[in-house]
Chains A and B, each alone.
Chain A
Amino acid sequence: MAKKKADRRRAPAAESQGKHPPVRLKIRRQDAPDKPETRRWETFEVEYLPQMNVISALQQIQKHPVTVAGVEVAPVVWDCSCLEEVCGACSMLINGRVRQACSALVDVISPKGKPIVLEPLRKFPLVRDLMVDRSRLFESLKRIRAWIEIDGTHPQGPGPRQSQEQQEELYPLSRCMSCGCCLEACPQYGPHSDFVGAAVISQVRLFNAHPTGALQKSERLEAIMGPGGIADCGKAQNCVEVCPLGIPLVDSIQTVAGETSRRFILSWLLGWSSDGG
């Protein structure tokens, strides 16, 4: 079994000596957000390479920026950095699905040589072609105070002891790379609303669950109870479906929702003012 699998994986490499058909890409382009008249599709064909991903296809276009119609055009503009799915830069819509371009292997997404369709994320302001502006996500992290309030970088000895179970809960949450996939897939998120989205709510859970982070728990809960906060979640659960790192985003939303309800009830019982936190 395993041997067959390995051989199958190698097969395209042997075929690439000229037999494998070229890879076709249909790409949504636009020169600038204020130039809607430049919105268009362009189709390119690039050589098939073993272990090829969408990034290496785009890299080939940089070397030879000519469409299938034989027209020389500007190379496609997109964001990328690490190419191993830890930096979060290369999010785009690939065949209609939001994901990272680096981990989109051609053999997997286009096994029968169907054209690969690339489009920019739709929930964020366009910069150009496949590049969008996700700075709103980082602004939201400021709003919920997504950090541990250390007293300073001077020597203070070890941090709080934590159990292995605790580490295993926090580590997956801490891997969120702010790629924006969960926001793209969320019906509530977008230019029409100020909902912060799952990625940001999950960071509230992360910092509130940390022994030191918990000391500022109420501030974070107050922030996430405000406009655009957790109450705006429509429970579509698309976020967890598209997260490239499998972060348990729905769990995070439920956890934070539980914490905010408890806080709300408590503040109602004790007569706290909700903006007094």
Chain B
Amino acid sequence: MAETTAPTSARSRVHRVIVVGGGLAGLMTTLRLCEANVPVLLVSLVPVKRSHSVCAQGGINASVNAGEGDSPAIHMEETVYAGDFLANQPPVQGMAQAAPELVHLLDRMGVPFNRTPEGRLDFRRFGGSLFHRTAFAGATTGQQLLYALDEQVRRYETIDVTDSRGISVPGEKLVHKLEYWDFLSLVRDDHGVAIGIVAQNLRSMRIEAFRGDGVCLATGGPGAIFGRSTNSVICTGTAASAVFQQGAVYANGEFVQVHPTAIPGADKLRLISESARGEGGRIWVPRDARDARRPADIPEGERDYFLERLYPGYGNLVPRDIASRALFQVGFHEGRGIFNPSTGKNELEVYLDLTHLDPILLKKKLSGILEIYQKFEGEDPYTQPMRVFPAVHYSMGGLWVDYETQGDGSLVAQSPRNHAASIPGLYAVGEVDFQYHGANRLGANSLLSCLYGGQLAGPALSAYQSALARSAADLPASLFDREKARESERFDDIMERAQGEKSTENAHVLHAELGEAMLRDCTIERHDAALRQLLAKLDELGERAKRVRVVDRSGRANQTAQFVRHFQNMLVLARVIAAGALERNECRGAHYKPACDPEVTPGAVGRDDENWLRTTLAVASETGEPKFIRSFDYECAGRTLRVTDEVDTSLTQPRARRYQQAGEANTAGRGPSRVAQGSRSERTERGHGEEEG
């Protein structure tokens, strides 16, 4: 049962590392720790099998397809290029190099990847590349990857911890899972080193401190800040916000990915994967904005395939920031979204059309997303074009984390600096960290970055633990009791606040207002005046949050009280995002200000490498407001290290992005060397047939 008593609250012979979050990144970190014989306390908000990684659909990138002339070097370049050069390049290179073996590992774990007739892994196209680089399991790849890792971790739940002499410790398994526990805060010693966590059981509402020789957050993104998004309801960013408030540096918060193709819903905006376009799907609107015919009756010549028209080189597979802006331009500014005869208005929606493709192939490769469309829209995407619009999807920003390189620019595999956050003893991995994606994430790189991050973070935590002079298990209980008492007080405040008062607030109502304001003012287009208003709105919501009354008085499974805490933490991160967007005066990747775009505002600078090719670093001031800094010192495994906001661009030179032209996303001007199905590359002959990766 989930309400297990804490194995590490008392002094214990077992010295565990704590991993918070059981999505792909947390599970990979856990696996790697177990392999190093480090016992793990795995703490998760939900049963790990229900983590948000299940929602990833399209696939995972790995340049296995050497037959096309693809290579890790090209994968690295295209990732960096799509990210508008804001990503530190050595970790991206490491990720691209590790990708083929990671995908093979998943294959060995039993992920039912789609196959070629020869029985090998099949690959499809995704955004920002002309290569077939994306391995996939139908259109539920994230679910399948998560399940494979969940199964591996479950295996470690049955394996005994052994002591230094190799003797089993009775009753202790390598993985001890705590599900339905909410992370509240880090426990730190008098030097500020993370030595454990305080968490709350979401059934009994008991607050407990746990000891850990290092804490790794793998808690995902903060999509709920935008109200409805493609994220699961659990993606509130609460843990990241909590450690930010405890001093952790948050990086590039303003970079939030809006996915071009989602479907509306009253509760969430459901994603229709980029793989629909990877398999040949086309985006269009009728040329005549008042065209009321059903889509099948509109002849080819009267359709505007605007992505193909604007970006002939990459067509429907331009990266997401560019595709979303184009959809917004057509739907919002030009008013040419799909005409709705019953309201007489043009919707924001556009067509995503698969009806020209072989239905048998679609079923094999995309059934997962087509079922979602069918289920929630009640229409048949095999015979009618889907109606889609942009939705908040992913946070490129997150907790700042380190990496260590050696002479040749590659990462030091066992370094305790890899994925270390700025608080000693704290690590972060997965969407909650800021590494790998720069200003805009390339599709099918998120699953990869979770796995690669976990692959590094496991050994990093293991090295960190080995270097500790004293295990957290041997530290005085008073350190843990202190933090536990602080969190208990905070929870009591949430429960007692505004009780008996006349004018009170409801956190869910405030959350809806937060989401609306963030969506309107801080997504595809950002204007300074609107951002200032947004910050004022956040102030107002902060004031009103002080009057939130928890209607539920129960001490059991009190979701209302839990949500108040998450909402308060969302407000803090919302401010980091909005203030970061106001600060950054340029256009880069997903961050777009019309006032900085020379095509809208003559004389504007566009992307401003001179002033803004740098990482946004935010820390919490005394009042909890974000403060932007250019550098800081942090301590890792006994060393003090200086960190600046400079981006490591040592591997490929920053240059302007031009997706109009095929092959521009890598310096070799490469597209696949063999003409591939569905590819519209005109420069396929340029590659060399048998180049090795």
Chain A residues engaging chain B, CB cutoff 8 angstroms: 2-3, 5-7, 9-11, 13-14, 31-32, 49-53, 55-56, 59, 62-65, 72-75, 77, 79-89, 102-103, 105, 107-108, 127-129, 131, 133-135, 138, 141-142, 145-150, 152-153, 155-159, 161-164, 166-168, 170-171, 174-175, 177-178, 207, 210, 212-213
Contacts and interface: CB of A to CB of B under 8 A. Distances in A.
Contacts of B364: 168
Given A81-B51, A174-B111, A178-B47, 8 more contacts: A2-B296, A50-B266, A65-B551, A73-B551, A81-B52, A147-B152, A147-B155, A148-B109
Interface in B146-164: 147-148, 151-152, 154-155, 157-158
B366 interface: no
Nearest to A73: B551
Contacts of B267: 53, 55-56, 59, 83, 102
B552 A177 contact: no
Contacts of A163: 115, 119
B270 to A, nearest CB: 5
A160 to B, nearest CB: 8
B13 interface: no
B265 A63 contact: no
Given A83-B268, A147-B155, A168-B364, A31 B554 contact: yes
B539 to A, nearest CB: 22
Contact of A74 (B35, B49, B554): B554
Contacts of A164: 114-117, 119
Contacts of A150: 105, 108-109, 152
B157 A142 contact: yes
A107 B155 CA distance: 43
Contact of B551 (A74, A77, A148): A74
B379 to A, nearest CB: 7
A103 B376 contact: yes
Given A84-B270, A158-B121, A213 B110 contact: yes
Nearest to B369: A84
Given A77-B559, A153-B105, A174-B147, A147 B154 contact: yes
Interface centre among B107, B120, B364 (most CB of A within 10 A): B107
Contacts of A55: 267
Nearest to B555: A32
Give the secondary structure class of A's interface. Answer: loop
A13 B349 CA distance: 15
Contacts of B512: 63
A13 B107 CA distance: 45
Given A11-B342, A148-B110, A177 B143 contact: yes
Interface string B46-73: 1101111011000000000000000000
B341 A7 contact: yes
B2 interface: yes
B570 to A, nearest CB: 15
Contacts of B418: none
A212 B232 contact: no
B379 A5 contact: yes
A10 B2 contact: no
Interface string B284-301: 000000000010100000
A56 B372 contact: no
A88 B378 contact: no
B342 A53 contact: no
B31 interface: yes
Contacts of A85: 372, 375
Interface string B22-57: 000000000110010000000000110111101100
11 contacts: A2-B383, A13-B343, A14-B343, A32-B554, A32-B556, A81-B234, A82-B54, A84-B268, A87-B49, A153-B455, A159-B108
Nearest to A100: B375
Contacts of B294: 2-3, 6
Residue from B112, B294, B341 with most neighbouring chain A CB atoms (10 Å): B112
B101 A155 contact: yes
B508 interface: yes
A178 B49 contact: yes
B108 A212 contact: yes
B499 interface: no
Contacts of B148: 148
6 interchain residue pairs of minimum CB distance: A161-B119, A159-B107, A74-B552, A147-B151, A56-B266, A56-B267
Contacts of B455: 153
B112 A167 contact: yes
Contact of A89 (B1, B50, B140): B50
B123 to A, nearest CB: 13
B342 A81 contact: no
Interface of B: 1-2, 31-32, 35, 46-47, 49-52, 54-55, 101, 104-105, 107-121, 137-138, 140, 143-144, 147-148, 151-152, 154-155, 157-158, 179, 203, 232-234, 264-268, 270-271, 294, 296, 340-343, 364, 368, 372, 375-379, 383-384, 455, 506, 508-509, 512, 551-554, 556-557, 559-560, 563
A213 B152 CA distance: 12
Nearest to A178: B49
Nearest to A32: B556
Nearest to A108: B378
Nearest to A35: B556
Contacts of B233: 80-81, 83
B266 A51 contact: yes
Contacts of B144: 171, 174-175
Q: Which of B1, B108, B154, B368 has the most CB of A within 10 A?
A: B108
A212 B143 CA distance: 21
Indicate the member of A65, A84, A105 with the most B CB atoms within 10 Å.
A84
Nearest to B550: A74
Contacts of B203: 127-128
Given A85-B372, A175-B140, A162 B55 contact: no
A206 to B, nearest CB: 8
Contacts of B296: 2
Contacts of A128: 203, 554, 556-557
A220 B519 CA distance: 50
A156 B52 CA distance: 29
B49 A7 contact: no
Contact of B560 (A64, A74, A105, A212): A74
B369 to A, nearest CB: 9
Nearest to A66: B551
Given A147-B152, A161-B119, A82 B553 contact: no
B2 A133 contact: yes
A6 B2 CA distance: 46
Given A14-B343, A77-B559, A174-B147, A88 B50 contact: yes
Contacts of A84: 55, 268, 270-271, 372, 376
A158 to B, nearest CB: 5
A133 B112 contact: no
A63 B55 contact: no
A81 B108 contact: no
A17 B509 CA distance: 20
A102 B233 CA distance: 12
Contact of A9 (B52, B105, B377): B377
Given A85-B375, A210-B110, A212-B108, A133 B1 contact: yes
A81 B154 CA distance: 21
Given A49-B266, A53-B267, A158 B104 contact: yes
Given A55-B267, A59-B508, A171 B137 contact: yes
Contacts of A170: 112
Contact of A161 (B47, B118, B270): B118
Contacts of A134: 47
A141 B119 contact: no
A28 B230 CA distance: 30
A81 B232 contact: yes
Contacts of B377: 9, 51
Contacts of A52: 266
A56 B269 CA distance: 12
A55 B560 CA distance: 16
